[in-house]
Amino acid sequence: MRIFLHLALGSAVLALGFGQAGYAQMNEPAYVITYIEVTPTATERAIELLKAHGEASRDDDGNARFQVLQRIGRPNHFALLETWVDTEAQATHAAAAHSNTFRTNLEPLLYSPYDERKHGQVEVRPSIDDNNAIYGLTHVDIIPTYLDPGVDYVRTLVAASRKDAGNIRFDVLAQDSRRNHMTLVESWESAEDQAAHSTAAHTKEFRAALLPLSGSLYDERLYRPL
């Protein structure tokens, strides 16, 4: 845990100004993560709607990525991962006729509200989508007064995890509305690679260092692409 202790001291002294440097501006990519939970009996219908919406959305101007994911162990839970060239492209997509039709048709199937969260980038690098990959979405909630050291811990985890065997993608985004709420976005070549990462020494050190700074449960969810 020594590296995380050094980071905590460094953050307290340097005051890195995460609020200015950590998030997307108007001319930078816009990221959206949406969590969808439908009644179990509506799973197949939801899959049809989600796949069709994904295909239509990828044709929208300014779309850079649109992935539809199904949660492992909870097949009636889904997630949408979107990347747009800018906020204007995302807003145009959200107002499109096919988006409104999708939301209207999906609404009767939901047992929890449609949970759409807009994000900006903290640590993102180009990656290739893999339809056979294991995806991870983890919600990290840092107490606002500990934001700088918490962000340093997250960035250190990202740098180490990208070197893990089988890693395809390991990025971190922050919610536009609550900048101390972040999402780790991961993809792995196999379930075994993801499991090995979860028990790696650097992951354990990160979890231990982050816990005293956390405002809520560390929420990790695994998915497969549809």
Task: Identify the band that residue 24 occupies on the pLDDT scale cut at 50, 70 and 90.
Answer: very low
- From 53, 58, 64, select the one nearest 99 (Cα to Cα): 53
The residue that leads in pLDDT, 129 or 171, is 171
Q: Do 172 and 184 touch, CB atoms closer than 8 A?
A: yes
Q: Do 177 and 118 touch, CB atoms closer than 8 A?
A: yes
Task: Identify the band that residue 52 occupies on the pLDDT scale cut at 50, 70 and 90.
Answer: very high
Which pLDDT value is given to residue 145?
96
pLDDT at 131 over 50: yes
pLDDT at 10 over 50: no
Q: What percent of the chain has pLDDT over 90?
A: 85
Which pLDDT value is given to residue 66?
97
Which pLDDT value is given to residue 127?
84
Q: What residue segments make up the domains of the chain, in order of their start?
A: 2-225
Burial class of residue 152 in the structure, from the number of CB atoms within 10 Å of its CB (0-12 exposed, 13-18 middle, 19+ buried)? buried
Which pLDDT value is given to residue 129?
85
Report the pLDDT averaged over residues 187-209.
Answer: 97
Q: Fold for 2-225, please state it.
A: Alpha-Beta Plaits (3.30.70)
* Residue 137 neighbours by CB distance under 10 Å: 20
Q: How far is CA 105 from CA 46, 100, 212, in A?
A: 9, 9, 42
Stated as kind and residue range, the H or E segment containing 222 is strand 219-225
Report the pLDDT averaged over residues 183-194.
Answer: 98
